[in-house]
């Protein structure tokens, strides 16, 4: 599987950008392979007894390597976290013809229902609706200004260039209705709906006079984004992907060279499984907004700002 084949579907929309987050925050730490030197790995981050004295938080200490691993699984690609990013990564990998295992700590897909606002720049849906789009430069420059130039402009540019084809891929195989305007009621003939946002543009609207202008080019999925994820799950499973729900990814496994080769996971009964990943591990564990200790360590200036997403 090439880097290009995975990156083509990396950014489904601005909602996906927010959902992808930091990625590795859900893991407690990185451990060496059972045959490696665990003491050397722990010495890089300290031990529980020295964490407080050194000023480092507890999450910087790598957990002990499990000694009671009950089972071992092998795959080509291991995906940790099956939310919006993870299920798409697992599906894309399965479509590349590799063996995929996905792990999710919840009992079902870890999708936040409100994460259903997607870019469709260049999509079939955008073209069928006759939706006129602002230029890439105008959209990216405005987004950078809106977010006080904190984002990576290249990622926003990538989103503009690829969100349409990626959304077409996301809903591929699902049974849904596209309503022609934001205010058009759904026919009720289909359970799932794709609705354009603020379309058509109000007569006389001139975005050049607005401090925060609105650009066409996004849609919402109703009743939530869940049906897109369930469709992707079914397609991935049809390609042979295996998903482990109610299973917590506790730590990564690294070989003596430092290459990540898998992960130790445990189910709700505490039973450990070692999963070996030949080609790599994709981290889709969410961001750190629900972890006060990590927020205090990495971004203490947001102490009084409530996170938008709770820790689910």
Q: Where does the chain hold its CATH 3.50.50.60 domain(s)?
A: 23-111+229-302
- Helices 84-95 & 226-238, crossing angle to 10 degrees? 30
Give the Cα separation of 252 and 276 in Å (integer).
Answer: 10
Instruction: pLDDT band for 62, please (50, 70, 90 cuts).
Output: confident
pTM score of the predicted model: 0.79
Q: Residue 125 above 50 pLDDT?
A: yes
Give the Cα separation of 53 and 30 in Å (integer).
Answer: 21
Q: Residue 310 above 90 pLDDT?
A: no
pLDDT of 6: 41
Average pLDDT of the residues in 240-264: 96
Q: Residue 66 above 60 pLDDT?
A: yes
Q: How far is CA 257 from CA 5, 33, 130, 283, 286, in A?
A: 26, 10, 53, 20, 27
Q: Residue 24 above 90 pLDDT?
A: no
Q: Residue 258 above 70 pLDDT?
A: yes
Counting Cβ atoms within 10 Å, is residue 245 exposed (0-12), middle (13-18) or buried (19+)?
middle
Average pLDDT of the residues in 59-66: 88
Q: Which of residues 245 and 41 earns the better pLDDT score? A: 245
| Cis, bond preceding 124 (omega within 30 deg of 0) | no
Give the Cα separation of 63 and 71 in Å (integer).
Answer: 19
pLDDT digits (tens, 9 = 90+) for 1-15: 444 444 444 433 333
Identify each DSSP E strand in 200-241 by its residue range.
Answer: 218-222
Counting Cβ atoms within 10 Å, is residue 117 exposed (0-12), middle (13-18) or buried (19+)?
middle
Average pLDDT of the residues in 187-202: 94
Q: Residue 233 above 60 pLDDT?
A: yes
Question: Chain-wide mean pLDDT for the chain?
Answer: 83
Instruction: pLDDT band for 26, please (50, 70, 90 cuts).
Output: very low
**Beta-strand pair 247-254/29-32:** parallel
Average pLDDT of the residues in 99-107: 96
| Cis, bond preceding 145 (omega within 30 deg of 0) | no
Q: How far is CA 183 from CA 28, 96, 177, 180, 186, in A?
A: 46, 39, 14, 9, 9
Q: What percent of the chain has pLDDT over 70?
A: 79
pLDDT of 305: 74
CATH code for residues 23-111+229-302: 3.50.50.60
């Amino acid at each position: 599987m090439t880097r290009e084949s995975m990156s083509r579907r990396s950014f489904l929309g601005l909602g996906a950008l927010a959902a992808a987050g930091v990625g590795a925050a859900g893991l407690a730490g990185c451990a060496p392979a059972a045959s490696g030197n665990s003491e050397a790995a722990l010495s890089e981050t300290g031990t529980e007894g020295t964490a407080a004295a050194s000023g480092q938080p507890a999450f910087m200490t790598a957990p002990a390597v499990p000694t009671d691993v009950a089972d071992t699984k092998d795959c080509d690609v291991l995906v940790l976290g099956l939310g919006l990013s993870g299920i798409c990564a697992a599906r894309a990998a399965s479509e590349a013809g590799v063996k995929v295992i996905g792990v999710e700590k919840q009992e079902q897909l870890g999708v936040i229902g409100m994460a259903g606002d997607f870019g469709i720049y260049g999509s079939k849906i955008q073209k069928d609706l006759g939706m006129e789009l602002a230029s890439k430069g105008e959209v990216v420059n405005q987004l950078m200004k809106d977010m006080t130039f904190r984002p990576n402009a290249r990622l926003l540019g990538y989103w503009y260039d690829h969100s349409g084809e990626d959304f077409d891929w996301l809903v591929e195989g699902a049974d849904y209705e596209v309503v022609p305007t934001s205010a058009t009621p759904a026919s009720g003939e289909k359970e799932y709906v794709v609705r354009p946002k603020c379309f058509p543009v109000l007569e006389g609207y001139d975005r050049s006079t607005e401090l925060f202008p609105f650009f066409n080019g996004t849609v919402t999925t109703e009743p939530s984004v869940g049906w897109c994820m369930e469709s992707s799950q079914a397609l991935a499973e049809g390609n042979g992907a295996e998903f482990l729900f109610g299973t917590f990814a506790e730590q990564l496994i690294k070989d003596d060279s430092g290459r990540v080769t898998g992960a130790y996971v445990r189910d709700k009964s505490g039973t450990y499984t070692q999963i070996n990943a030949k080609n790599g591990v994709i981290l889709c564990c969410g961001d750190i907004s629900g972890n006060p200790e990590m927020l205090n360590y990495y971004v203490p200036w947001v102490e009084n700002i409530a996170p938008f997403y709770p820790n689910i």
